Amino acid sequence: QVPDWLPFSKDLIVILSGIVEMGLGLAMLFWQRQRIRTGIALAIFFVLVFPGNIAQYTEHRNAFGLDTDTKRLIRLFFQPVLIAWALWCTGAWRQLLNRPKEL
């Protein structure tokens, strides 16, 4: 799932991204005062892992039950949904839309 063009250990990237993902999930559950920031961080995380999902599709890599090109392609279309969901359910979407415009 990790693209070949990344110059780091694939195992390290998987472990670190898993730790970040679990940390963000725990923050969503237990750090309510920072819900908007957590939502923004989660949306950014989903954007950052998207190239890996694209690589998984283009390189026909099986992982986590995604064992056909159709399943991998469907996953690509859900990534923007996850980004929007992270922003919407945390109130970050509203916060970003209503922030004052800078000159």
Q: Once rounded to an integer, what is the mean pLDDT over residues 66-79?
A: 93
Residue 31: pLDDT band by 50, 70, 90 thresholds? confident
First to last CA, the chain: 42
Task: Report d(CA 30, CA 51) in Å as an integer.
Answer: 29
The residue assigned the tokens 């986590």 is: 64
Kindly report whether the global pTM for this prediction surpasses the value 0.75.
Answer: yes
Residue 103: pLDDT band by 50, 70, 90 thresholds? low
Spans of all domains in the chain: 10-98
Structure tokens given for 83? 């980004």
Which amino acid is located at 51 in the chain? P
Task: Report d(CA 84, CA 81) in Å as an integer.
Answer: 5
pLDDT, residue 50, reads 93
